[in-house]
Amino acid sequence: MEGLLDHGLRDILTRVGGVDRCVSEFIRITDQLLPSRSFVRVVPELKHGSRTPAGVPVRPQLLGSDPVCLAENAARLAELAPAGIDLNFGCPAKTVNRHRGGAVLLDEPELIHAIVAAVRRAVPAPIAVSAKMRLAYAAAAACSTARMPSPAQAPASWPCTRAPRRTATGHRPTGSRSPPCAKPCACPSSPTAKSGAPTTPPAAAR
């Protein structure tokens, strides 16, 4: 979560224990290729093997809507040997959505496919690519994942979904807890410190 889950908090939480992987605040990608220092500023763990002082891997997260620009920045980020790259399709902030970023892209599943495919092609195979998505952002987004091409066509290592605290109309869903990672995916069995959205998939989803 931007402004909250920074490297200081990641350090504290991972020293306490119980966290097996962290995902950073989002790094906004617009129309330029960022220098390496921009990634390191948000994820200083990149200078230490992409791990916190406690040894927990940290995955930088990118947010944007231009497949080419995201792919180029992902390739630049890959030069720093991150413990994976995450793509943000879940941020509900209106300011971010107005600039065509985050959960608003759930209304454009073909664009999400293009982004994931472009980033996957740009990043070396050993570096995992994951995607964060949100449930019930809007009525039209409810079946976005169903309209998405198969993972075989744009293979992210695993997509993770987060149930909203409120729907687009302000309704608070009953018992809206984060569900397991969406199928099909190759999910790890450990929880993830991802913007407050831990996921622990059942064996059937792995």
Which active-site residues does the annotation give?
Answer: 91
Q: What DSSP character marks residue 165?
A: S
Q: Compute the distance between CA of residue 20 and CA of residue 14 in angstroms, rounded to an integer.
A: 8
Residue 185: which of 206, 162, 161 has the closest Cα? Answer: 206
Please give the angle made by the CA atoms of 135, 59 and 77, to the nearest 5 degrees. 115
Cβ atoms of 52 and 20 closer than 8 Å: no
Strands 22-28 and 58-63: parallel
How many helices (H) and strands (E) the chain has is answered by 6, 6
Whether cis (ω within 30° of 0) applies to the bond prior to 184 is: yes
- Strand 129-134 versus strand 58-63 pairing type: unpaired
* Residue 189 DSSP label: S
